[in-house]
Amino acid sequence: MRDLDTNIRPTDNFFHYASGGWMKRNPIPATEAMWGSFSVLRQENRKKLKAIVEEVSQDKKATMGSDAQMVRDIYSTGMDEAKRERDGVSPLLPIFEKINALKKPEDIIPITAYLHRLGFGGIFGFFIDQDERHNDKNVLYLVQSGLSLPDRDFYVNDNEESKRVRVEYRKHIMAMFKLLGKTPKECGIAIESIMRIETDLAKHSMTQVELRDIEKQYNKRTLAKLAKEAAGAEWEKYFRLVGVGKPKEIIVAQPIFMKRTAEMLREISITEWKDYFTWHVLSGSSSFLNKAFVNEHFKFYSTILAGVKKQRPLWERVVGFIDGTVGEALGKLYVERHFNHEAKKKINELVNNLFSAYEAHIKALDWMTPKTKKLALKKLHAMTRKLGYPDKWKGYKGLVIRDDSYIENYWRVHEFEWKRTIKKLKQKPDKKEWHMTPPTVNAYYNPVMNEIVFPAGIMQSPFFDASADDALNYGAIGSVIGHEITHGFDDQGRQFDSTGNFKNWWTDEDKKKFEKKAKVIENEFNNYVAIGDMKVNGALTLGENIADLGGITLAFAAFKKSQEGKERKILDGFNPEQRFFLGYAMTEREQIRPELLKKIVVTDPHSPSIFRVNGPLSNMPEFAEAWGTKEGDKLYREPKERAKIW
């Protein structure tokens, strides 16, 4: 209980009350932008992964193509800084040569395709996933992209933070191009080209809030129609060059952006495009280059944008890279050593209890008509779960990893995954696929599969601890489970039916009532000041805030049910209900640097942690009762003003 700060009243600021002591003892390390339960566990996991990587690195005889060999050789090339110093930018020279050979507007599409295949960004992008309206097949989504700052807002907004970021971004481009050997004059011209192109793309990009609108982004087109709507770009050629062939249909997520892109191919001069592509190649490969580039990239993206003081040690960066490339190979080795089968069994039971609580709550809702309730229950009953790690590993058969070059290994993995992705267009969606690796300390809800997924990484203390009392576990992992289930019923998730198709199953009346209730949450969060003059964006964070409130409410109900007939114990001076809320606040504890906070307010659909605790709890009568909140307390809300959906 030394984690608490008892100078603060729990009914004024539960976030600080529950974690103030911990925060004082655990300042943010110099290598981090934030520090809390998630980051501590992630750090511990990285150490476990390091031990695995070092263990398999001893095995000099591992067969070519085995998980151990791939992990071993990516690690050894990643740790070989001396080679990167010797190589400098030489691995990029053939690419720069191709960029320098550009002559006419018709050359832009082929170079874009070439760079996309190598894993570089540029102008737009695409991915292949289930068709949201017909999820028994995969389809191609064409999407906005091509920026180097974290969001379009940083290019077009005129607040202080955006201006600061733009000034620093220009300096960063200058420094990187100087390292490449350009003259100050050339650097100055390049900065203008890059800013002109990226700002134009930004102006025609959807905002983060617009990106939450699924209907608006579901624009199915034939190739012919796309060529007409976004005339001027040879789309057919692009898809052929990236290996997709001639797609029958394409979902154009941002038609205005694509139209503008096609116009820009002709309006922007070839010299400007050369600068733009050179920049994206240079910036995109900086972590594979010599230290001068690595340091300059770190300075801008981690120090200036996120406030981090010091780079993580190289091994941490390389282990993170392995997780992001051959993550299931490493994950398999991780699971063999660290998976807790007992925890999986217990968590499976918790999921069952959360589902039961949800069912009872839906049945008891006073605002929903029986017709919609029936379909909500149908969706709940159809929701599936994945716990721990994949039943079927996706495997890397055919991928060749060598001990020669870090960046070459990256390109090999990228090309391999690229082909795997493109094959999906002709395949049925794979229900066994995972979108997170096993060591990941996180969880997700996937609306097109109507499934909740919890990797092995999150099935550990402080989220789940088999030796802790039920109250803490329900407050911690129980709330996480409830959160993911609620995503199936948040402002976005509710628009997908029980089979995972984007299809309305709500009566107009129920839809209106839901929206009205959601608006209460949106308005509440709009009032929270994150930092300086920057407030939380209630519309951007709506889905997560609905999921938080629903998750804790449902976990609390499941907890109460699990305690029926059991003895009520007081531990450390707290009753079971109080411990439940302490368990929740413990998982959400987090300190964050101001630079990162200013960034996430613009880009992150999650609210800052303090509001993820104080926000939902101020709406819960269960919390008010457990802690005795009353009028005048900062976390007090009039019963009729409290937000509640599920």
**Which positions touch Zn ion (CB under 5 A)?**
544, 547
Residue among 326, 344, 359 nearest 489 (CA) = 359
d(CA 383, CA 637): 34
Q: Which is nearer to Zn ion, 179 or 443 (CB)?
A: 443
Q: Strand 384-388 and strand 451-455: pairing?
A: parallel
Q: Is the dihedral of CA 336, 339, 342, 346 positive or negative?
A: negative
CA distances 53 to 60, 323, 331, 390, Å, are 13, 11, 11, 21
d(CA 376, CA 368): 10
Q: Which is nearer to Zn ion, 196 or 606 (CB)?
A: 606
Residue that is written with structure tokens 């941002």 in the block: 254
Q: Which is nearer to Zn ion, 211 or 547 (CB)?
A: 547
Strand partners, 385: 452
Q: Which is nearer to Zn ion, 175 or 453 (CB)?
A: 453
d(CA 188, CA 371): 64
Q: Are 524 and 643 in contact (CB under 8 A)?
A: yes
Residue 30 Cβ vs Zn ion, minimum distance, rounded to whole Å: 29
Amino acid at 84: R
Residue 623 Cβ vs Zn ion, minimum distance, rounded to whole Å: 20
Q: Which is nearer to Zn ion, 530 or 547 (CB)?
A: 547
Residue 487 Cβ vs Zn ion, minimum distance, rounded to whole Å: 6
Identify the DSSP state of 574. Answer: B
CA distances 199 to 196, 212, 321, 354, 598, Å, are 5, 22, 30, 46, 20
Q: Which is nearer to Zn ion, 424 or 487 (CB)?
A: 487
Residue 547 Cβ vs Zn ion, minimum distance, rounded to whole Å: 5
Q: Which is nearer to Zn ion, 32 or 544 (CB)?
A: 544
Phi then psi dihedrals of residue 156, to 5 deg: -105, -20
Residue 424 Cβ vs Zn ion, minimum distance, rounded to whole Å: 25
Q: Which is nearer to Zn ion, 23 or 518 (CB)?
A: 518
Q: Which is nearer to Zn ion, 78 or 550 (CB)?
A: 550
Residue 601 Cβ vs Zn ion, minimum distance, rounded to whole Å: 17
597: tokens are 């906070």
Q: Count CB-CB contacts under 10 A for residue 539.
A: 18
Q: Which is nearer to Zn ion, 122 or 493 (CB)?
A: 493
Q: Is the dihedral of CA 361, 364, 365, 370 positive or negative?
A: positive
Alpha helix positions (H), 204-311: 214-217, 223-229, 235-242, 255-267, 270-284, 291-298, 305-306
Residue 445 Cβ vs Zn ion, minimum distance, rounded to whole Å: 7
Helix 341-364 / helix 370-382 crossing angle, nearest 10 deg: 170
Exposure string for 79-110, b = 16+ CB within 10 A, e = fewer: bbeeebeebbbebbeebbebbeebeebebbbb
Q: Which is nearer to Zn ion, 108 or 547 (CB)?
A: 547
Q: Which is nearer to Zn ion, 179 or 586 (CB)?
A: 586
173: tokens are 């481009």
Residue 436 Cβ vs Zn ion, minimum distance, rounded to whole Å: 13
Q: Which is nearer to Zn ion, 175 or 586 (CB)?
A: 586
Residue 439 Cβ vs Zn ion, minimum distance, rounded to whole Å: 19
Residue 546 Cβ vs Zn ion, minimum distance, rounded to whole Å: 9
Residue 488 Cβ vs Zn ion, minimum distance, rounded to whole Å: 11
Farthest CA pair distance, the chain:
79
Residue 212 Cβ vs Zn ion, minimum distance, rounded to whole Å: 13
Q: Which is nearer to Zn ion, 39 or 629 (CB)?
A: 39
* H-helix or E-strand spanning residue 614: helix 609-619
**Sequence-separated contacts (24+) of 66-71 with Cβ below 8 Å:** 67/326, 67/329, 67/330, 67/332, 67/333, 67/396, 68/333, 69/401, 70/326, 70/329, 70/396, 70/399, 70/401, 71/322, 71/326, 71/329, 71/330, 71/333
Residue 549 Cβ vs Zn ion, minimum distance, rounded to whole Å: 12
Residue that is written with structure tokens 């509640």 in the block: 644
Helix 314-325 / helix 37-57 crossing angle, nearest 10 deg: 90
Residue 214 Cβ vs Zn ion, minimum distance, rounded to whole Å: 16
Exposure string for 607-619, b = 16+ CB within 10 A, e = fewer: bbbbbbbbbbbbb
